[in-house]
Structure 1
Amino acid sequence: MNSFLSGLISWLLLPVAVFKGIGVRKTAPRLPPPRGRPKGQIGDGPAEIRVLVIGDSSAAGVGADRIEDTLGPQLALCLNRMTGKPVSWRNAGANSATASQVRDYVVANIEERDFTHVILAVGTNDAKNYVTRSRFKKDFGGLLYAAHSRWPDAKLYWSPVVSMTDVPALPGSLAFILAMRVRIINTIGAQLCQERYATALDPLPVDGPEGFAVDGFHANALGYRHWAEHVAKFIRDEEPASSSWKK
């Protein structure tokens, strides 16, 4: 099914999505981000790799019990093991944030300018909020420009939205509908990354419900580790063959 047909069918099924979504909100617990300083370092000495994870609640680490188990520090640990280099990390996420909100309220409030790698974790809320194709193109495209402008020397990566049919909290009918919205978001996002200084990663494969938190929607420590390994391998494979990265 192409993205145009996905959009048409999903809009026709909007009343079903709203009804089912209200049911999920009533039953799913709302989780806070883990406590702790949202930055740190793996390895001794000046950080040679400096990672920023920016985006929605997943970038903030919602679903993990400890800040050390979130995407930023787990990605830093993976990169440290692959390279032997000290790696610093920073999480910067906002609950329920869409691409436009990350662009307007998160990017502008990060003072550090020396990141080497910026990971964008955004798009899930745009999909479930039925953000239109044209609006997401404007919002996410603006986010890419804003990130590149603020960190021009960093490599930008976008982690697309996972398949909604793999999310335990969603009933089958709602997962089917949201999967169509995700198809639109991921298609447009990948196209924009090609045009605007960024690399779209492959969507994260989900092996089962074990990687989800108690709300059945966010990742838990295991899920964030799986995600970090996925991103780290993609980054490693993009590095020149002459670099110190280990295979």
Structure 2
Amino acid sequence: MHLPFWLTTALLFPVLLYQGKRARKHTPRLPEAQGSPCGQYGEGTPDIRFLVLGESTAAGVGASRHEQGLASQLALQLRERTGQTIAWHTFGVNGIRMGQLNQILASMELPQADVVLLSMGVNDTTGFTPRHRFRRQLLALREMLAPRYPGPICLLSVPPMHLFTALPSPLRQIMGWRARQLNRVYEQLARHAPGDFQYRSYPAITDVSLLASDGYHPSDKGYRAIAEVLACEDWFPDQPAP
């Protein structure tokens, strides 16, 4: 148990509860992206197939269409950098937590993929999912996906919620504190089991022009900016240098 965090949260609970309800009431709830959740850049058989799973960012909330969302924009950036044919597929549910995602994926027919990227953590942060449970659910996801996707799951860093200006203080600081705790679970798994998990980080979006109208999710430009950073990662060994 992370005692300082829980003591602080308990002391501030009435304020946090009020601010949380107020934030939900006044923050616009944007729809998930429209259009096909899959596509391809380049002709012929794909050299690399990307699958993005997760919460609102995987669902493209804040983007107008899935073509402007994270999976598509990452595939496009890699196509431009490498010249390879890149296929992409995304599946996300706005507001979902890790345990719920596992339940849904257990009964889904998932597409073929060479790289699986997981974008989770915000709803488990706001829902105060215990770290041990979050870790156990990540391991359960890895075990469930292993027969079809033997490579490591790429864990996209939990957004730094202490920078979410749409949230008031002290709620913003408490959520940021919790997000960093869950992000450390990602880092520890990637460090201790690199064959099962890899950690992928990207800079916080602080430019308001890259945010959607709710001040919370990336906009079309925001997803493109995230993809530009992630495309610099070494996603596959034979990726040509830019």
TM-score, structure 1 as length reference: 0.89
Q: SS of the residue aligned with 2:50? A: strand
Contact persistence 1:93–1:106 (CA under 8 A) = no
1:141 equivalent in alignment to 2:139: yes
* 1:127 aligned residue: 125
* Gap change, CA 1:187 and 1:168, over 3 Å in 2: same
Contact persistence 2:52–2:89 (CA under 8 A) = yes
Cα distance in 1 between the residues matched to 2:43 and 2:207: 36
Q: CA deviation at 1:191?
A: 1.1
Unaligned runs of 5+ in 2: none
* 1:205 aligned residue: 204
Q: CA deviation at 1:138?
A: 1.6
* 1:246 aligned residue: 241
* Gap change, CA 1:192 and 1:145, over 3 Å in 2: farther
Selected match of 1:158 from 155, 158, 167: 155
Contact persistence 1:17–1:174 (CA under 8 A) = yes
Q: How many residues align?
A: 240
| Identity level (%) | 33
Q: CA deviation at 1:192?
A: 2.0
Contact persistence 1:29–1:215 (CA under 8 A) = yes
* Gap change, CA 1:46 and 1:216, over 3 Å in 2: same
Alignment of 1:16-27 (within 5 A): 16-27=15-26
Cα distance in 2 between the residues matched to 1:203 and 1:5: 28
Cα distance in 2 between the residues matched to 1:15 and 1:183: 23
Alignment of 1:65-104 (within 5 A): 65-104=64-103
Contact persistence 1:7–1:184 (CA under 8 A) = no
* 1:225 aligned residue: 224
Cα distance in 2 between the residues matched to 1:45 and 1:27: 47
Amino acid of the structure 1 residue aligned with 2:126:
K
Unaligned runs of 5+ in 1: none
* 1:187 aligned residue: 184
Alignment of 1:27-38 (within 5 A): 27-38=26-37
Cα distance in 2 between the residues matched to 1:244 and 1:217: 33
Cα distance in 2 between the residues matched to 1:208 and 1:107: 38
Could you list the per-position Cα deviations for residues 219-242 of structure 1 after superposition, in whole angstroms to 9, with x for gaps in the alignment?
111111111122221235xx44xx
* Gap change, CA 1:190 and 1:4, over 3 Å in 2: farther
* Gap change, CA 1:203 and 1:67, over 3 Å in 2: closer
Cα distance in 1 between the residues matched to 2:72 and 2:99: 25
RMSD across aligned C-alpha pairs, in angstroms? 2.0
Cα distance in 1 between the residues matched to 2:109 and 2:3: 36
Amino acid of the structure 2 residue aligned with 1:36:
G
Cα distance in 2 between the residues matched to 1:234 and 1:198: 15
Runs of 4+ with deviation above 4 angstroms: none
Contact persistence 1:24–1:170 (CA under 8 A) = yes
* 1:172 aligned residue: 169
* Gap change, CA 1:11 and 1:66, over 3 Å in 2: same
Contact persistence 2:161–2:175 (CA under 8 A) = yes
Contact persistence 1:10–1:180 (CA under 8 A) = no
